[in-house]
Chains A and B, each alone.
Chain A
Amino acid sequence: MNRTQKVITENFNTYKVEQIDKYIENGGFQGLKNALEKGKDFIIDELNISGLRGRGGAAYPTGKKWNGGRQTHADVKYVLCNADEGEPATFKDRELLVKDPYKVLEGLAISGYTFGAKEGFIYIREEYEFLHDKIRKAIKLAEENGYLGKNILGTGFDFSIKVFSGAGAYVCGEGSALIESMEGKAGRPRMKPPRIGVAGYMGKPTQSNNVETLAIVATVLKMGAVNYAKYGTEKSIGTKMISLCGNVKKPGTYEIPFGMSLREIIYDIGGGIVGDKDIKFLQLGGVSGPLMPKKYIDTKYTYEDLEAEGFGIGSGAILVADETKSVIKFLESVSYFFFHESCGKCTPCREGKRQMKKLLDKMSKGTATTKDLKNIEKISRIMTDASFCGLGQTAATAMLTAIKYFSPELCSSIDEIKAL
């Protein structure tokens, strides 16, 4: 049975960006109306009931973040929509922006109201350049219809949104690096504290949220948190956008209730494996996520069930690799990516990746020794513990889980050497 849902995605394929009237007919901007009418305490309560956790990957409770944020006082504050979706295997934010841009803008306006910002930015990655003008058009139409701009819905709330284009850097998904680039600099993460919520864009408090998070905020405030909370499990409330890809028959973006098993997702939604092959491993949450061997595919897709086994939801990416794929080749691709994307600021990340690349070359050539494997594990742990930002801290996750679950494959040559 295909258990996909249409809650966050309720408006998909119902309107084109020119048709803001259709969005409004579908109940669009009702979330914003409710928010402005009932006030900030109501918004926070609803978010808490909805159990919403940040959908960019960090999974921090949104209600908690927003409640803290609104208590920061400053003359000027900003809100951001982080549409720098750079995590390989992830494309659900792209789908949201393509198929329901107004819902994302609505969520950003609600975030601006709650945080006390008059100006918001939507930071869209360069690779989604085809979206930039579309979003600009949506902003303009929302302004013309009184949902953005001055005195929104006659409430006295002013809020405008600008599009900012990224320039191709994975690390800019990290909030402070993103802000550095918005200020005209190379996107290297900042030292924390202060966090961007205290001193972000132009030194002012800045609240950043992922695209999907903002779409859910608008959804929850429209339908009511109690209704949204009917989906999912007790601890993982609601629905989730996933990016299903790799060797599955029907790759794509789907909305599912938390609590489905990975097997259901892959076979009932994804149609199974291309060529009806067997699964070898999954990678959850994108390139920074762990490799999950096939034996775990009956695990439920919830925060708690995955965490209990050492995995995570991350960005919502589910990459499926069939039985014919080489773990070493896959790791080389992971390593190449991080090697390319490291900003070079801190030593564990910059040099760790250099060493990892060297050792992977040896593995690939079959000349790696047991000592090399121990070395690579040690370097991976140092990178995870000592890197400056999330990029370096997660760059070795795939390697560490490969060592845990697939060491015979990595070590085939090592045993021969030991026997000499």
Chain B
Amino acid sequence: MTADIFDVNKILKKYEYKDSSLIPILQEVQKLNEEKYISEEMAKYIAAEMKISKTRIYEVITFFSALNDKPKGKYFIQLCNSTVCEITDKDLIENALVSELGIQVGETSQDKMFTLEYTPCFGACDVSPAMRVNKVVYGNLTESKIKSIVSKLRGDTHE
């Protein structure tokens, strides 16, 4: 498990192991993991500690978009493909992302640096087309903006 069990236990204790707090528990546990997901091992551990079934945990993880059962890259890029971004040229942005990142939508780069996925509207339609990178909103996107954002993110890694 990537996350420290000590920290997981702290979260469980904070919520008194209550199954009604399952969503904040899973959200906080996921945040501990650099790869932004809840591993099967972790799901099993939480189920045992909370005395609930693993199925219940997976039902919740797979139901909600913000809970992941698969690892994501260091930079998790979520491109909005809902109506407003659709009519404000999301396709151009998608093509720019695909060519800059060298991966298709739904994929993670081999060096685990980037994951590119579609996401439903996140309420930034006033600055569409928009995407989120590790939950931070980037709006009014253009092809050249994408180039500079991606190169900045790549530059980050050489520090």
Does B81 sit within 8 A of A, measured CB to CB?
Answer: yes
Q: Least Cβ distance of A165 to chain B in Å?
A: 6
| A184 CA / B84 CA spacing, docked (Å) | 32
In the complex, the answer to whether B60 meets A186 with C-beta atoms within 8 Å is yes
Stretch in A52-60, A261-269, A325-333 touching the partner: A325-333
Task: Name the contact of A181 in the complex, choosing from B23, B83, B84 (C-beta under 8 A).
Answer: B23
Query: When each residue 234-260 of chain A gets 1 if its CB lies under 8 Å from chain B and 0 otherwise, what string results?
Result: 000000000101110001110000000
Task: Take A181-B23, A245-B84, A333-B86 as given contacts and tell me if A343 and B63 are in contact as well, using a CB distance cutoff of 8 Å.
Answer: yes
Task: Take A183-B20, A246-B84, A330-B86 as given contacts and tell me if A127 and B64 are in contact as well, using a CB distance cutoff of 8 Å.
Answer: no
* B65 / chain A contacts, CB cutoff of 8 Å: 126, 167-169
| A399 CA / B113 CA spacing, docked (Å) | 39
Max count, chain B CB within 10 A of own CB: residue among A126, A127, A164, A181: A127
| A164 CA / B24 CA spacing, docked (Å) | 8
Query: When each residue 100-138 of chain A gets 1 if its CB lies under 8 Å from chain B and 0 otherwise, what string results?
Result: 000000000000000000000000011111100000000
In the complex, the answer to whether A168 meets B64 with C-beta atoms within 8 Å is yes
Query: When each residue 71-103 of chain B gets 1 if its CB lies under 8 Å from chain A and 0 otherwise, what string results?
Result: 000000000011110111000000000000000
Interface residues on A, range: 35 or more
Which secondary structure dominates chain A's binding surface? Answer: mixed
Stretch in B3-11, B104-112, B115-123, B149-157 touching the partner: B115-123
Task: Name the contact of B82 in the complex, choosing from A94, A168, A287 (C-beta under 8 A).
Answer: A287
| A90 CA / B120 CA spacing, docked (Å) | 12
Nearest neighbor of B23 in chain A, beta-carbon distance: A167
In the complex, the answer to whether B60 meets A319 with C-beta atoms within 8 Å is no
Task: Take A186-B63, A330-B83 as given contacts and tell me if A252 and B120 are in contact as well, using a CB distance cutoff of 8 Å.
Answer: no
**Count of chain B residues with Cβ under 8 Å from any Cβ of A?**
35
Query: When each residue 37-70 of chain B gets 1 if its CB lies under 8 Å from chain A and 0 otherwise, what string results?
Result: 0000000000000000000000110011111000
Max count, chain A CB within 10 A of own CB: residue among B23, B64, B88: B23
* A230 / chain B contacts, CB cutoff of 8 Å: none
Residues on A facing B (Cβ under 8 Å) = 85-91, 94, 125-130, 164-170, 181-187, 202, 243, 245-247, 251-253, 283, 287, 317, 319, 321-322, 325, 329-330, 333-334, 336-337, 340-341, 343
* New A-B contacts (19) at CB < 8 Å, excluding given A90-B125, A126-B64, A181-B64: A86-B120, A86-B123, A128-B123, A164-B24, A165-B24, A170-B120, A184-B22, A187-B63, A187-B64, A243-B125, A243-B126, A246-B88, A247-B87, A251-B127, A283-B83, A287-B121, A319-B87, A330-B83, A343-B63
